[in-house]
Amino acid sequence: MSDSVKQSIIKLAQAIWSSDDLCFVDTERTQGLREDILRNFLALAMTDDERAQMLGLSHGCRVRESAKIISPQNLTCGENVWIGENVILDASGGLEVGSHTTFGVASLVWTHSSSFSNIMMDNRSGNPWIVRNPTRIGSGCYIGGPSSIYPGVTIGNKVIVLPMSVVTEDVPDNVMVGGSPAKVIRSIDADWMVQYQKKNGLS
C-alpha cells in the first residue's frame, strides 16, 4: 500500500479520534478503549504479518483481518503462529501459545467468564464476579475453527482440535480431539502421520 493511502487512513482515524460528534461518553473507560478501537481500525489496512508486528508477536506470526486479541499484554506467543479471520484470543486472564500453532477461522479462546455476574443480576462494567483462569496451548497445534476453548484449559503439544469443538478439559500431547465437550478421538502418532500422508498424496 502506498504511503499516501496510509497517510489518508491515519488522518481519517485522527479525525474520528478527535471528533466531538462521535464521543458520546467521555469517561476514563471510553478514553482507554478508544485507543484500542483506533488501533484495530488502522489494522484493517495492514497485512497479516504487519498486524502481528503491531501486536508485538514473535517472528513469523500472522494475524488475519478482524481477529481480536483481548489484553495482548498478557499474551505469550511463540513463533510462526497463525491467527485466522474473526478469531478471538482472550488473554485477559493470561494466555500462553507455543510456536507453529494455528487458530482456524473464528476460533474462540477464553481466559475469563462473566456468567456469574448475570446470575447475580450485577452485569455492570467492573463488577466483582468475573472469574479469570490462565489458558495454555502448546506448540504444533491446529485449532479447527470455529471451536471454543474454555478458561483454565491446558492443551498439550501437537494437538488437533476438530472444527466445532468445545474444549472444556485439559488435553494431553499428540492427540486429535473433537465434539462438545471435546473427547480424544485418536492419537497423532507415527502411524497416523503415514496414513495421512498417503491419503492426501503428501510425500
Extract long-range pairs of 28-35: CB within 8 Å, 24+ residues apart: 29/125
Indicate whether 162 belongs to the interface with ligand COA (CB under 6 A).
Answer: yes
Q: Which of 5, 37, 185, 194 binds ligand COA (CB under 6 A)?
A: 185
C-alpha cell at 36: 484500542
Indicate whether 140 belongs to the interface with ligand COA (CB under 6 A).
Answer: no
Indicate whether 33 belongs to the interface with ligand COA (CB under 6 A).
Answer: no
Which residues 96-115 are close enough to bind ligand COA by CB under 6 A? Answer: 104
Indicate whether 151 belongs to the interface with ligand COA (CB under 6 A).
Answer: no
C-alpha to C-alpha distance for 109 and 186, rounded to whole angstroms: 23
C-alpha to C-alpha distance for 105 and 108, rounded to whole angstroms: 9
Q: Is 130 helix (H, G, I), strand (E, B) or coil?
A: coil
DSSP codes, 61-87:
-EE-TT-EEESGGGEEE-SS-EE-TT-
Q: Which of 144, 151, 152, 156 binds ligand COA (CB under 6 A)?
A: 144
Residue 56 contacts residue 74 (beta carbons within 8 Å): no
Q: Which of 127, 179, 184, 189 binds ligand COA (CB under 6 A)?
A: 179
Which residues 45-104 are close enough to bind ligand COA by CB under 6 A? Answer: 104
Comparison of 78 and 178: residue with beta carbon closer to ligand COA? 178
Comparison of 9 and 162: residue with beta carbon closer to ligand COA? 162
Q: Which of 42, 106, 131, 164 binds ligand COA (CB under 6 A)?
A: 164
